[in-house]
Amino acid sequence: MPTFATWLKSSTQILKAVSASPHLDAQIILGFVTHQPYEKLLIRDQTSLKFSQLLRATYYLHLRTRLVPIAYITHRKKFHGHTFYVNKHVLIPRPETENLVALASKHAKTLPKNPNILDVGCGSGCIGLSLYYSTLNAKSQEQNIKSPSLLLSDISEKALKVAHKNAKKLKIKADFRKSNLLNRINIENIDIITANLPYVNKNWNWNSKSLKHEPPLALFARKNGLEIIEKLLTQISQKPRKTHLAIFLEADPSQMPAIKSFTHNLFPSAKITIDNFVAQIIL
């Protein structure tokens, strides 16, 4: 059987053709099959792989050479300090989305009460669950304060199952709703809406190699990528809602001027702030 050292060396060599981080990918795969923290696996480690570990490691190496993202191999992705379960039915949480959570969390802390949160297009649930967690921690010291509430919604039943699993893992009591945007959702009591909806325009020169393993339903939208975001904003404008409802949307920075003017037409007195990939809208 190969040792950890020889497996790491040969796998790193193989992955050089397909990955920008071949050694790290090899370490993560080896750590995953041997149940060890990958950071501790050393290039000189002379421990031998067991046959069953070698079989699994070889299979995962093969998947990685086919450009399957590491997160879909290990079913884990770190986001905002938590490890989320992911599978091929959900988008892999992105680092830029952490800023949306940070901005929404900052806003939540300015509210007199814990907010009722709605995460539309929740996927793995990473936004809503992280926001709930940080909001809860911020006010947990105070007595007799009602906990925040969280509704996670998605058009995909399979994505909702993943969100449910993550809520259970984080011990968060959330509600789940299968809905095409707000079709089946009443927002009367909602204080904060977060939404990282599909915004990729198919005509963009996007890095198709890794995205091809992620669900198209999570990525693409028509009308320059803005169709679904605009539908959500329109639905919000047509529903009874709280006066200072806050909406946090993710989109590409190049789409922000269009989102800003669309929002301004629907809600002339809204306060709109753009921060990289995030549009913060306070009605």
Ligand X SMILES: C[S@@+](CC[C@H](N)C(=O)[O-])C[C@H]1O[C@@H](n2cnc3c(N)ncnc32)[C@H](O)[C@@H]1O
Chain residues in the site for ligand X (CB under 6 A): 90-91, 93, 97, 120-124, 126-127, 154-156, 159, 180-181, 196-198, 217-218, 228
Q: Which residues of 103-120 are buried (b: 16+ CB within 10 A; e: fewer)?
A: bbbebbeeeeebbbbbbb
For residues 208 and 262, the answer to whether their CB atoms sit within 8 Å is no
**Residue 30 burial (CB count, 10 A):** 22
* Minimum distance, C-beta of residue 145 to ligand X, in the bound complex (Å): 27
Nearest residue (CB) to ligand X, 14 versus 102:
102
Q: How far is the CB of 227 from ligand X (least distance, A)?
A: 9
Cα distance between residue 268 and residue 283, in whole Å:
9
Rg (CA), the chain: 21
Q: Which two tokens stand for residue 35?
A: 């149940």
Give the nearest distance from C-beta 166 to ligand X in angstroms. 11
Q: Is the Cβ of residue 113 or residue 184 nearer to ligand X in the bound state?
A: 184
In whole angstroms, the minimum distance from the beta carbon of 84 to ligand X comes to: 9
Residue 240, classed as helix, strand or coil, is: coil
Give whichever of 33 and 77 is closer to ligand X, judged by the CB atom: 77
Nearer to ligand X, 109 or 158 (CB): 158
> CA 188 to CA 239: how far, in whole Å?
8
Q: Which two tokens stand for residue 227?
A: 């169709």
* Overall residue count recorded for the chain in this entry: 283
- Asked if 117 and 150 touch (Cβ cutoff 8 Å), the reply is yes
Residues sharing a CB contact under 8 Å with residue 198, sequence separation 6 or more, in sequence order = 121, 217, 218, 219, 220, 221, 225, 228
To ligand X, the closest distance from the beta carbon of 73 in angstroms equals: 18
Task: Give the nearer residue to ligand X in terms of CB position, either 56 or 94.
Answer: 94
Continuous segment of H or E residues that includes residue 118: strand 116-120
- Closer of 7 and 85 to ligand X (Cβ): 85
Q: Would you tell me how many other CB atoms lie within 10 Å of the CB of residue 268?
A: 7
Nearer to ligand X, 54 or 73 (CB): 73
Q: How far is the CB of 93 from ligand X (least distance, A)?
A: 4
Name beta bridge partners: 271: 282
Minimum distance from residue 216 beta carbon to ligand X (Å): 10
CB of 100: closest distance to ligand X in angstroms?
Answer: 8
121 vs 148, which CB is nearer to ligand X?
121
Distance CA 94, CA 126 (A): 10
